[in-house]
Structure 1
Amino acid sequence: MTELGALGWLFLVVAFGAIVPIVPTGAAVSGAAALAFHQHPLLIVLTIAAGAAGAYVGDLVMYAMCRTGGESLARRLRWLRDEEHLAAVKERLSKSQVPVLLVSRLLPGGRVPVLLAAAFLGLPWRTFVVANAPACLLWSAVYAGIGVAGGSIFPKPWQGVLAAIILVVIVGQTVSLINKRRARAAEEAPQPGETAA
């Protein structure tokens, strides 16, 4: 497969994964960057661009689905799980849109609640289109950086790809575990007006 063909596949995988959030898109970008590291430095830049473009297009489709289908679609596809968390995201998003979009792209599992909140708040298309572009670029660059790190440590490309994917999975699981612990601690904390037993 040619380099352009591989970049095209990366774009498609990331775009599909942005719409169907079960595909490990970060691992795809990291793996591609680890391979690119062993071939040509320019390919790393093109990998970042292909990953960012795929994420951007996928996010636009997902945002359109959320705006069009609304809450009923989100419930049917099981995107809407935690309404209290969604309310908190809506509040943060109404105060600062660009930083929230940037952070949501970097946190595993953070993107879908923010896209839902943005759609439910009626965030204008123009604002979303402009604010999401740097978020996708930053996301792609971070995951490509993980891939380059993996590719530079190991002499063979397949070892770098494997290391990058494992690192992405470990980081994702760690962040998910931290978020679950925080949510559990918040549930167990006494609410205002309650007295501790």
Structure 2
Amino acid sequence: MIATLGALAWLFAVVCFGAIIPVVPTGAAVSSGAALAFHEHHPVTIALVIAAGAAGAYAGDLVMYAMCRFGGEQLARRLRWLRDEEHLASVKERLKAHEIQVLLVSRLIPGGRVPVLLAAAFAGLSWRTFVSANLPACALWSVVYAAIGVAGGSIFPQPWQGIVAAIALILVVNQAVSWWTKRRSAAAST
């Protein structure tokens, strides 16, 4: 049990750090944890992986949102979070029309969270709205990635095979979404 608590604490830390520094593959961490938990045959451990992943994502998002709110556009430019002014403007418009839905979906779209956090911060979205809308977004995100890990863990007999399958599936889905988004943007600009 102590090893499980230590692993959950590491999962929380990795996901929290990855939410602040968007280079860390946080979805893969949650999927891997769920695949390992599946092989332990403890459904409670899978629920704890989901909770640790969601809590890490939530805490990291709060830090990131605070950095965006207080650091402003200068900090975003310095950290190279702000690259595409047009995209940011369109996200701001969608966010004004559908705050909660945009925050929910942004967590699930690869590369969608940072622009939405920037747009929300620059548009002055209240802390109260952000805090309440981001909680279900992080929980949903963690459930989706844990489900990918459980699926990978259930297909393969060895835990490492499930982890590799989950990571490969995440990479394929991320690339497909990225390709589709670029293609859609190119079609919209013509």
TM-score range relative to shorter protein: over 0.9
| Contiguous gaps of at least 5 residues in structure 1 | 190-197
> Given residue 123 of structure 1, which amino acid in structure 2 is its aligned partner?
L
Q: Which residue of 105, 119, 122 maps to 2:121?
A: 119
> Given residue 112 of structure 1, which amino acid in structure 2 is its aligned partner?
V
Q: Which residue of 172, 175, 180 maps to 1:173?
A: 175
| Structure 1 consecutive aligned stretches of length 4 or more whose deviation exceeds 2 Å | none
Q: Which has the larger radius of gyration?
A: 1
Query: Secondary structure of the residue that 2:157 maps to in structure 1?
Result: coil
Determine the structure 1 residue equivalent to 2:64.
62
Matched, 1:35 2:36: yes
Q: Compute the RMSD of aligned alpha carbons.
A: 0.8
> Given residue 149 of structure 1, which amino acid in structure 2 is its aligned partner?
A
Determine the structure 2 residue equivalent to 1:192.
none
Determine the structure 1 residue equivalent to 2:157.
155
Q: Percent identity?
A: 74
1-structure distance, mates of 2:156, 2:26: 22
Query: Secondary structure of the residue that 2:165 maps to in structure 1?
Result: helix
Determine the structure 1 residue equivalent to 2:188.
186
With structure 1 as the length reference, what TM-score do the two structures score?
Answer: 0.94
2-structure distance, mates of 1:67, 1:148: 36
Summarize deviations over 1:99-144 as a string: whole Å, max 9, x none: 0000000000000000000000100101100010000000000000
Query: Secondary structure of the residue that 1:123 maps to in structure 2?
Result: coil
2-structure distance, mates of 1:79, 1:54: 20
Describe how 1:75-94 pairs up with structure 2 within 5 A.
Answer: 75-94=77-96
| Contiguous gaps of at least 5 residues in structure 2 | none
Matched, 1:128 2:130: yes
2-structure distance, mates of 1:79, 1:186: 23
2-structure distance, mates of 1:75, 1:177: 25
2-structure distance, mates of 1:104, 1:168: 16
